[in-house]
């Protein structure tokens, strides 16, 4: 059995916010949307059904926890949840806050345009607010 | 409490294959990809976290069941799972079989080009194969 390590590209495109049970909670380096990624800390998982039933339940619990906190933290119109993995095969779940009129609304975020860098202060405020909502 | 009814647009864009526990399993009317949609039969659910914990667990179980069957039925490279809902707000989960070189690979299917009609025979074979894998 291999040890878990975050995929190189995923590691480059996102930064670690915290660990919650099964998953690393990471923030995408793209300020266009509040865009989180959950990465189950399991080596060699590509599809959700590669996880054990217990891990699947944990993942569901953590997706819901994060999605609910993200909605409350942002007041977004809709949370988008997706596990695609066509490029990065390591299992990871996107949780994105979408609002009417945001870039590519109502289309998906994946594959659209180029990432924009977070301003440090804005990122710090968003991260603090999110983590507060995760714990309440 | 309102009675569950499939959203009008979702009903127009997909057809019912079967019911499995919590969800209706529907086939999108777009032959470009083997593209399924799970619709939890619960009125007024928009976000996954609107469901009760038991329903969330059921939904996870059914997503995994369908994703695994779809992968075995198609031999696809990757299964894409997504709950977006930016256009149709009724909670629904896409489960799509993706293969290298398919339309818009490795980008997402949503919002890409125009739907193509299924040929009757091809659709019948796909549906039969999928349902067999769902039951095995």
- Average pLDDT for residues B80-99, to the nearest whole number? 98
- A121 occurs within a structural domain: yes
**Would you state the structure tokens that stand for residue A1, as one six-digit string?**
């059995």
Per the rule left: phi > 0, alpha: psi between -120 and 50, beta: everything else, B14 is: beta
Q: How far is B90 from chain A (nearest CA, A)?
A: 11
- B87 occurs within a structural domain: yes
The pLDDT score that the predictor gives to residue B136 is: 85
- β-pairing verdict for B35-40 and B93-98: antiparallel
Q: What is the CATH number of the domain that holds A88?
A: 3.30.428.10
- A74 occurs within a structural domain: yes
What does B62-74 look like in DSSP terms, one character per residue?
Answer: HHHHHHHHHHHHH
Asked whether the beta carbons of residue A82 and residue B79 sit closer than 8 angstroms, the reply is: no
In A, minimum Cα distance to B69 occurs at A49
Of B60, B80, B85, the CB nearest to A56: B60
d(CA B8, CA A131): 38
Q: What is the mean pLDDT of chain B?
A: 97
Asked whether the beta carbons of residue B67 and residue A56 sit closer than 8 angstroms, the reply is: no
Give the 3-state secondary structure of residue B96: strand
* pLDDT tens for each residue of A68-77: 999 999 999 9
* pLDDT tens for each residue of A53-92: 999 999 999 999 999 999 999 999 999 999 999 999 999 9
Number of inter-chain CB pairs under 8 A, A vs B: 102
* pLDDT tens for each residue of B122-136: 999 999 999 999 998
- Residue ranges of alpha helices (H) inside A1-136 are 8-13, 53-74, 120-134
- B2 occurs within a structural domain: no
- Average pLDDT for residues A24-41, to the nearest whole number? 98
Asked whether the beta carbons of residue B49 and residue A67 sit closer than 8 angstroms, the reply is: yes
The pLDDT score that the predictor gives to residue A53 is: 93
State the residue range of the domain holding A16.
8-134
Asked whether the beta carbons of residue A49 and residue B67 sit closer than 8 angstroms, the reply is: yes
- B3 occurs within a structural domain: no
The pLDDT score that the predictor gives to residue A136 is: 84
- B22 occurs within a structural domain: yes
Inform me whether the pLDDT recorded for B1 exceeds 70: no
**Total domain count, chain A:** 1
- B1 occurs within a structural domain: no
Of A61, A67, A111, the CB nearest to B47: A67
In A, minimum Cα distance to B78 occurs at A86
In A, minimum Cα distance to B62 occurs at A49
Asked whether the beta carbons of residue B86 and residue A68 sit closer than 8 angstroms, the reply is: no
Inform me whether the pLDDT recorded for A1 exceeds 80: no
Share of chain A above pLDDT 70, in %: 99
Of A94, A68, A66, give the one whose Cα is nearest residue A10. Answer: A94
Q: Per-residue confidence at A2, pLDDT binned at 50, 70, 90?
A: confident
* pLDDT tens for each residue of B60-82: 999 999 999 999 999 999 999 99
- A120 occurs within a structural domain: yes
Of A68, A71, A106, the CB nearest to B87: A106
């Amino acid at each position: 059995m291999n040890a878990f390590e975050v995929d190189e590209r995923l590691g480059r495109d996102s930064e670690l916010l915290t660990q919650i049970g099964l998953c690393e909670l990471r923030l995408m380096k793209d300020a266009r949307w509040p865009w989180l990624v959950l990465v189950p800390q399991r080596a060699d998982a590509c599809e959700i059904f590669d996880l054990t039933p217990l891990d699947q339940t944990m993942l569901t619990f953590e997706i819901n926890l994060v999605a609910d906190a993200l909605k409350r933290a942002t007041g977004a119109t809709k949370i988008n949840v997706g596990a695609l993995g066509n490029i990065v095969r390591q299992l990871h779940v996107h949780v994105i806050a979408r609002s009417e009129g945001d870039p590519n609304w109502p289309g998906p975020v994946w594959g659209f345009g180029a990432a924009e860098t977070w301003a440090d202060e804005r990122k710090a405020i968003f991260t603090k607010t999110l983590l507060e909502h995760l714990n309440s």
